[in-house]
Amino acid sequence: MTTNERSPAAPDKESPAWTTPSPWTAWRDATPARIALGRSGDALPTGELLRFGWAHAGARDAIHAQADFDALQAQLQDQHWPAPPLCVRSQAPDRATYLRRPDLGRALAPEDAQRLDELGRASADGFDLCLVIGDGLSALAIERHAVPLLSALRSLLPATLAIAPLVLAEQARVALADDIGQRLRARLSVIALGERPGLSAPDSLGVYLTFSPRVGNTDAQRNCISNVRTEGQTPAQAAARLAWLIRMALKRGESGVALKDESEYAVLDDASPNPRQHGDDE
């Protein structure tokens, strides 16, 4: 039985007469958070225990599921990006190892590292932008939201950007984009991957942007866009914010704590300078 959808047998939120309701019950219509659960004697009502078990199973399924990268690659090819997407793997050989050894998810498998090294050397000036899609901790997140995110993003990017081939990364952690971006000689890397599932959001996508990707970068050098999903920050909204961050990171030559997200106060237009006129740090 899959847990991607609500069980048809899941109980509703109405409490039977023998359950003591919470005074905050009306707030449940405003949030998916687990609030105002009520009680039955000294314990939670049976319905709430069942709902908790269902949500927990959904989170576990999202973490252990294998992403369908073949289907994802086909969908992205239909968007006609400048080059066909590339599929790579981290050094984690399987899902179980990936979950136990986060460090292996931050480095490319040797054969893929060599392949990206060759591609980077073949580009005379390197690339302005490297876009990576990784499974992360929720394959469900990228299967639902990665393609809509990139579709919305593409029309917002300046036509002058030199974009590397899209990279689809299996068993990926956030820092894998540093390894990928450095080998492709990219000025800026962006990775979108599944966030750690919660009990109300097993399909949340996170997006991380890093100027001058290098192995050993810290989280302080990244900007993060979180909770990308239909019920949270929609892919279209996240794409608009990401496009602004990309333009500003390339213009200012910085990201992370040095680049404050002010996208809500800015208007995207085509008047920004050519990214390469500010110099290249390669």
In the chain, the DSSP E strands lie at 86-89, 127-136, 167-170, 186-194, 205-211, 222-228
Examine the fold and report which residue of 39, 64, 89 is the final residue of a domain before the chain moves on: 64
Q: Which residues are annotated as a binding site?
A: 174, 195, 224
Same domain, 185 and 141: yes
Token pair recorded at residue 192: 């979108």
- Whether 131 maps to a domain, the answer reads yes
Same domain, 156 and 201: yes
Same domain, 45 and 162: no
- Whether 19 maps to a domain, the answer reads no
Residue with tokens 């956030």, as numbered in its chain: 174
- Whether 97 maps to a domain, the answer reads yes
Token pair recorded at residue 277: 């006129």
Same domain, 92 and 48: no
In 162-237, the DSSP E strands lie at 167-170, 186-194, 205-211, 222-228
Same domain, 158 and 36: no
Examine the fold and report which residue of 43, 64, 85 is the final residue of a domain before the chain moves on: 64
Same domain, 91 and 187: yes
Distance between CA atoms of 140 and 149, rounded to whole angstroms? 14
Quick one: DSSP state of residue 163?
Answer: B
Distance between CA atoms of 203 and 197, rounded to whole angstroms? 7
Distance between CA atoms of 4 and 62, rounded to whole angstroms? 8
Same domain, 151 and 196: yes
- Whether 279 maps to a domain, the answer reads no
Distance between CA atoms of 224 and 270, rounded to whole angstroms? 24
**Domain range spanning residue 217?**
69-264
Same domain, 90 and 119: yes
Q: Which residues contact 156 (CB under 8 A, 6 or more apart)?
A: 239, 240, 243, 268
Q: What is the pLDDT along the chain (282 residues), one digit of tens a residue?
A: 344 444 444 444 455 556 677 777 777 777 777 777 877 888 888 888 888 888 888 888 888 888 899 999 999 988 888 788 999 999 999 999 999 999 999 999 999 999 999 999 998 889 999 999 999 999 999 999 999 999 999 999 988 999 999 999 999 999 999 999 999 999 999 999 999 988 778 899 999 999 999 999 999 999 999 999 988 899 999 999 999 999 999 999 999 999 999 888 865 444 444 444 444 433
Structural domains counted in the chain: 2
For the four alpha carbons of 226, 85, 109 and 113, in that order, the dihedral sign comes to: negative
Same domain, 39 and 162: no
Distance between CA atoms of 219 and 229, rounded to whole angstroms? 22
Distances (CA, A) of 224 to 24, 77, 210, 260, 278: 32, 26, 9, 11, 24
- Whether 248 maps to a domain, the answer reads yes
Distance between CA atoms of 76 and 70, rounded to whole angstroms? 10
Q: What is the CATH number of the domain that holds 171?
A: 3.40.50.11240
- Whether 280 maps to a domain, the answer reads no
Q: Tell me the whole-structure pTM to 2 decimals.
A: 0.81
Examine the fold and report which residue of 16, 44, 64 is the final residue of a domain before the chain moves on: 64
Same domain, 206 and 74: yes
Same domain, 247 and 127: yes
- Whether 175 maps to a domain, the answer reads yes
Q: Which residues are annotated as a binding site for adenosylcob(III)alamin?
A: 174, 195, 224
> How many CB atoms within 10 Å of residue 19?
18
Asked if residues 228 and 238 have their Cβ atoms less than 8 Å apart, the reply is yes
- Whether 9 maps to a domain, the answer reads no
